[in-house]
Amino acid sequence: MSKWFTSIMILIFSAPTTKAQDWEMRHGFAKSYFGISNFISPNITNPNFLNSDGSLQQFERSGFLSPAINIGATHFWGFADFYISISTVDLKFGSDDVSNGYSLGTFTGLRLYPISIQKNSIRPYLGFKFSPFSYKQTNELDQDFKHTSVKSTFDFGVGIQLEDFYFTMEYGKVVNPSFDTFLSRTVVSTDQFPSRLFQIGINYTIETTKIADAEINKASNKLFSSSNKKGFFIAAGPSSAFPTTTSSYITELYPFLDDRSFPAIFPDVALGYHFTKTDLITALSYRPIKQNRISYGFEQEINRTSLILEAYKFLMDYNGFVPYLGVGVSYENISLSEIDNEIEITQLRETKLSAAFVFGWDIRPSVKGDWWILRTNLRYYPFLKINYQDKNLSLQHLEFNFIQFVLYPERLKSARNLKL
């Protein structure tokens, strides 16, 4: 996953800077959409379970369908499609003797069209996506085991763009689907996630930049980009966090726990100031993050309240695609609680400061003068961890806020009063 992000960022930051503003190109750069997908896995390998004699026994497992919510946008005038698909629950095609279930998590993906997709067209594409796959299985004592891994999928598909709707159909090959599964705290078996996925998606397209191709927006841009005034903004959006390293505390002391368990989706709320003339931002962002691991009567919960002061600089403007890079220092209020068979064994609280790298991009209909924009935030914490019982419990997460709505209230007020 980190290699993929590195490659994407190299491409972004090496793109040429747009100096002369072509408004028609800016407002045709991206088209947003939202909709639903169905991920289908018709055939899955049969796993093992521990029977009443304590020996391994195989059972048949049904295929499933997983509905998902899509949020995305086609970029670069129809040559690329960036999206997330938030999977819901697996709907099995049959009944299994042993209770079990998959969660495909939230896919973050990219589709590349060799020939740009436009209105009333059908185009083939190649794609790549990744997501935290999870599997849960219940034993005869009604105790659960859960395993999470980040899995990559290479896709081949067809996109169909109509006037207001965007359809996708694809076949995906999952890379390295195998994993170890604990059938008790000590008995280990092997299993695997689906090795292939079929996807059918239907989306409604919405135009968020073309409507800004008006004289009022050009005048607003000229007014607001000439100074550092009226740069106050508020922002909010859903975010997720990806564990990037293993925790020796888990792998050595409690290997039956789900080491790479992902925190639940959480809000990212920010207040900041945009020094518009220099294209520099300082902001204060708040995120409540909760991570939970439960297996065989053992429950671990980590609550992290994070307040980060960050500064970042926009690097260039490629027809409305504006990446940035920066750093931040966060104040972390962290609590760890553990319960083993209904007995509390750990209650720990720590506060600390941690450094973070900050990067992402804006989608701007104007150059600098919009009163609202969509922003993507990513933060990486390379040093954040808890030291406990001479082991490390990693909180070295990559936070990914795919779409954040950013509002400049002073600009909105001034734009309403602007006379052309």
pLDDT at 20: 39
Place of tokens 């962002």: 285
pTM value? 0.78
Domains of the chain from N-terminus onward: 31-206 (2.40.160.20), 215-416 (2.40.160.20)
Report the pLDDT value the prediction gives residue 96, as an integer from 0 to 100.
85
Task: For tokens 């920010």, name the residue.
Answer: 270
- CA distances (Å), 40 to each of 137, 169, 411, in order? 20, 11, 46
- Residue-level pLDDT at 310: 97
In this structure, are residues 237 and 268 in contact, taking their beta carbons and an 8 Å threshold? yes
Amino acid at 403: I
Per DSSP, 303 falls in state E
pLDDT digits (tens, 9 = 90+) for 257-276: 998 888 888 999 999 999 98
Looking at residue 208, what is its pLDDT?
Answer: 60
Question: pLDDT value at position 12?
Answer: 42
3: amino acid identity, one letter: K
- Give the Cα separation of 103 and 167 in Å (integer): 23
Q: Where would I find the beta strands (DSSP E) of 139-186? A: 144-161, 165-174, 178-182
pLDDT for residue 5: 45
Backbone angles phi, psi at 97, to 5 degrees: -70, -30
d(CA 243, CA 400): 11
Q: Which candidate, 101, 73, 131, 106, places its Cα nearest to that of 375? A: 73
| Cα-Cα-Cα-Cα dihedral sign, residues 395, 249, 190, 48 | negative
- Annotate 187-210 with b (16+ C-beta within 10 A) or e (fewer): eeeebebbbebbbebebebeebbe
Closest CA to 193 of 210, 176, 207: 176
pLDDT value for 256:
92
Q: Look at residue 393 in the predicted model and tell me its pLDDT.
A: 93
String of b and e for 81-99 (b: at least 16 CB within 10 Å)? bbbbbbbeebeeeeeeebe
The DSSP symbol for 16 reads P
Residues of the chain with pLDDT under 70: 1-29, 207-218, 418-420
Q: Quick one: 364 exposed, middle or buried, by C-beta within 10 A (0-12, 13-18, 19+)?
A: buried
pLDDT of amino acid 11: 43
Residue 350, helix vs strand vs coil = strand
Nearest CA to 282 out of 231, 331, 230 is that of 231
pLDDT value for 10: 42
